[in-house]
Amino acid sequence: MLPEHADVVIVGGGSCGCVLAARLSDDPARTVLLLEEGAAFGSPSAVPREIRDVATLPVGPESPWVTHYPGRLTAAVDATVTRGRVLGGSGAVNGAYFVRARPEDFRHWPAAWSYAEVLPSFREIENDIDFTGELHGESGPIPVGRVARERMHPVSRAFTDAADTAGFVPVADLNAPGPEGVGPVPLNVRGGVRTSPLLAHLLPVLHRPNLTVGGGTRVDRIVVSNGRAVGVEITGADGPRRISSGRVIVSAGAVQSPRLLMLSGIGPVGELRRLGIEPVLDLPGVGHGYSDHPEALIPYRFRPEVPAHSVLLEVALHTENLELRPYTTAFGSVIPGSGVADPVLGVVLTRPRSRGRIVFDERDPAAAPLLDYRYLTDPADREALDEGVRLAADLLAGMDDVVEAGSVEVGRSRLGTSLHLSGTCRMGDDDRAVVDEWCGVRGIEGLNIVDTSVFPRVPSRGPHATAVMLAHRVALLGDAL
Ligand SMILES: Cc1cc2nc3c(=O)[nH]c(=O)nc-3n(C[C@H](O)[C@H](O)[C@H](O)COP(=O)(O)OP(=O)(O)OC[C@H]3O[C@@H](n4cnc5c(N)ncnc54)[C@H](O)[C@@H]3O)c2cc1C
């Protein structure tokens, strides 16, 4: 039974929503209501096997745990873009690669988010199994570990050796600042279980009387009165209703957070009018100028004796603007129904310049929007990605222990996305910024956005660890939000 009122309503029980709900309900005097559109679970044992098991990515066409959006990567390449829609969100279904943003990434953030300021939160969220010392936490909820070389898949070892031979620096800890190079990826996995904020933060505190989680509950609109967010309109099992609150925190993810703002009349005023939505506040940056990582996938075949494996990615190579990912398994084996039969080597552009926008349907603004990535519109991006593909082909040529002779098909590489969407409601103090440095929506009291939408730009690594850090740090503000 959902309450009529909560001190804080959190919209979206994904990676950030789970962290916020757990931390804000640490104070028994504060009532917290977490609303999640997808299914919810009342205990760890109720979480389905495919969400726990890191050997599966339950994001295929039949998955009940995700939403698929239409995406246009370039004028010539379309894609289906997946986001989690389940308690735990995208973090509950992701690749479990838990790597921090680099110190230089935070130069694009407001000063309150310098690397020195965020490091304590990166430490507090983790329990690093391999490293201790001033860079690492030992008692946080998220276990972070790396696969030891002797347990690695032959592809991971062969790739590391090829990168070594090509002169790249070995890096034991990719979560430490320092030179770029090749090394084992940090994973939020314990005993084969994808240990996301759902399992690590939220489920252990579900018994709290001041915390309510409403699964199967969609927030349709934020209610704003006299410049202040005062509640939400929802559709749940009992139909539509309104819940009042002292504060609304939107953590609906990088697609749905800007969409919910738009449906609530907060966004570019011309666009709102065109969509037939009564404007509440003109914020031109909503849904505009986002970034994500373009990823070229080079198909090849394993030699017949190479075994199948369970952790999709064990090592990565970083250069100034690229990440090379030797996936250990064909996507078709871990993503039911994905249809990708060959193994691939991923070439990721980590600091893209091109920016995308979310396009709403003029006939039905409540329908799934189109994600218009505009990848590679900046010629420098295309050049850098092409260079990355050449580097990858060279490395694959040195991996003949595992790669079947003649099977690397650079010409059949296809452009994809790493699903690291960021910056659809970005943080800052310029005209296009949507939230201030503490994630408050500019121009509206009592309303925050806390998820990867607010990243000023996509970090040069996977965003998950940085998203968890963001939510952890914002929650420290508590009533001062
Ligand atoms: C398949 C996949 C693999 C990935 N792999 C990696 C990886 O290995 N490493 C990495 O760093 N990053 C990875 N990512 C990205 C990373 O998981 C996400 O960036 C991160 O989890 C986003 O967290 P979030 O809190 O911003 O949003 P989400 O976790 O997406 O949470 C948003 C939640 O809000 C809910 N919601 C939306 N609208 C409403 C509404 N109106 N009412 C109520 N609820 C609503 C959604 O159902 C969802 O549960 C991956 C992403 C995907 C999709």
Which helix (H) or strand (E) segment is 447 a member of? strand 447-449
Distance 113 CA to ligand 1 centre (A): 22
Q: What's the confidence (pLDDT) of residue 364?
A: 87
Side-chain-side CA neighbours of residue 166 (13 Å):
20
Distance 14 CA to ligand 1 centre (A): 6
- Joined tokens for residue 131: 């490293």
- Residue 101 is classified by DSSP as P
Number of neighbours of residue 21 by Cβ within 10 angstroms:
29
Sequential DSSP letters for 123-165: HHTEEESS--STT--SSSSEEEB---GGGS-HHHHHHHHHHHH
Yes or no: say if 159 and 145 are a contact pair by the CB < 8 Å rule: no
Is 309 noted as a catalytic residue in this protein? no
Range of the domain at 206: 5-480
CA-proximal residue: ligand 1, atom 35 (nearest) = 12
Is the beta carbon of 89 within 6 A of some atom in ligand 1? yes
Q: How far apart are CA 60 and CA 133, in angstroms?
A: 40
Tokens 């040529």, residue located: 397
Distance 158 CA to ligand 1 centre (A): 32
Distance 467 CA to ligand 1 centre (A): 10
Is the beta carbon of 420 within 6 A of some atom in ligand 1? yes
Is the beta carbon of 462 within 6 A of some atom in ligand 1? yes
Side-chain-side CA neighbours of residue 34 (13 Å):
35
- Joined tokens for residue 133: 């010392």
Distance 321 CA to ligand 1 centre (A): 24
Confidence grade of residue 376 (pLDDT, cut at 50, 70, 90): very high
First-to-last C-alpha distance (Å) of the chain: 27
- Residue 28 is classified by DSSP as T
Confidence grade of residue 310 (pLDDT, cut at 50, 70, 90): confident
Confidence grade of residue 362 (pLDDT, cut at 50, 70, 90): confident
Q: What's the confidence (pLDDT) of residue 110?
A: 97
Q: What's the confidence (pLDDT) of residue 339?
A: 73
CATH number, domain with residue 96: 3.50.50.60
Yes or no: say if 30 and 480 are a contact pair by the CB < 8 Å rule: no
Distance 92 CA to ligand 1 centre (A): 8
Among 35, 94, 218, which is best to mutate for testing ligand 1, by the most ligand atoms less than 8 A from CB? 94
Please count the structural domains in the chain. 1
Is the beta carbon of 293 within 6 A of some atom in ligand 1? no
What is the β-pairing status of strands 239-250 and 228-236? antiparallel
Q: What is the pLDDT of residues 449-467, one digit of tens each?
A: 999 999 999 999 999 999 9
Q: What is the pLDDT of residues 197-244, one digit of tens each?
A: 999 999 999 999 999 999 999 999 999 999 999 999 999 988 899 999
Atom of ligand 1 nearest to the CA of 86: 49
3-state secondary structure 310-371: CCCCCEEEECCCEEEEECCCCHHHHCCCCCCCCCEEEEEECCCCCCEEEECCCCCCCCCCEE
Is the beta carbon of 95 within 6 A of some atom in ligand 1? yes
Atom of ligand 1 nearest to the CA of 464: 11
Q: What is the pLDDT of residues 377-418, one digit of tens each?
A: 999 999 999 999 999 999 999 999 999 999 998 988 999 999
Is the beta carbon of 21 within 6 A of some atom in ligand 1? no
Whether the predicted pLDDT of 337 surpasses 90: no
Yes or no: say if 13 and 35 are a contact pair by the CB < 8 Å rule: yes
Q: How far apart are CA 315 and CA 44, in angstroms?
A: 29
Give percent of the chain above pLDDT 70. 100
Q: How far apart are CA 116 and CA 114, in angstroms?
A: 5
User: Mean pLDDT across the stretch 251-259?
Assistant: 98
Q: What's the confidence (pLDDT) of residue 332?
A: 84
Cα torsion at 61, 67, 70, 73 (round to 10°)? -90
Confidence grade of residue 342 (pLDDT, cut at 50, 70, 90): confident
- Return the closest-CA partner of residue 264 out of 369, 395, 366: 366
Q: How far apart are CA 166 and CA 317, in angstroms?
A: 11
Q: How far apart are CA 463 and CA 422, in angstroms?
A: 8
Would the pTM count as exceeding 0.75?
A: yes
Is the beta carbon of 16 within 6 A of some atom in ligand 1? yes
Marked catalytic residue, from 201, 288, 318, 420: 420
Is the beta carbon of 258 within 6 A of some atom in ligand 1? no
Tokens 């609150």, residue located: 245
Is the beta carbon of 96 within 6 A of some atom in ligand 1? yes
Distance 168 CA to ligand 1 centre (A): 33
Among 15, 57, 90, 457, which is best to mutate for testing ligand 1, by the most ligand atoms less than 8 A from CB? 90
Q: What's the confidence (pLDDT) of residue 53?
A: 95
Yes or no: say if 396 and 298 are a contact pair by the CB < 8 Å rule: yes
Yes or no: say if 461 and 100 are a contact pair by the CB < 8 Å rule: yes
User: Mean pLDDT across the stretch 362-378?
Assistant: 93
In degrees, to the nearest 5, what angle opens at C-alpha 430 toward C-alphas 428 and 432?
90
Is the beta carbon of 118 within 6 A of some atom in ligand 1? no
Whether the predicted pLDDT of 54 surpasses 80: yes
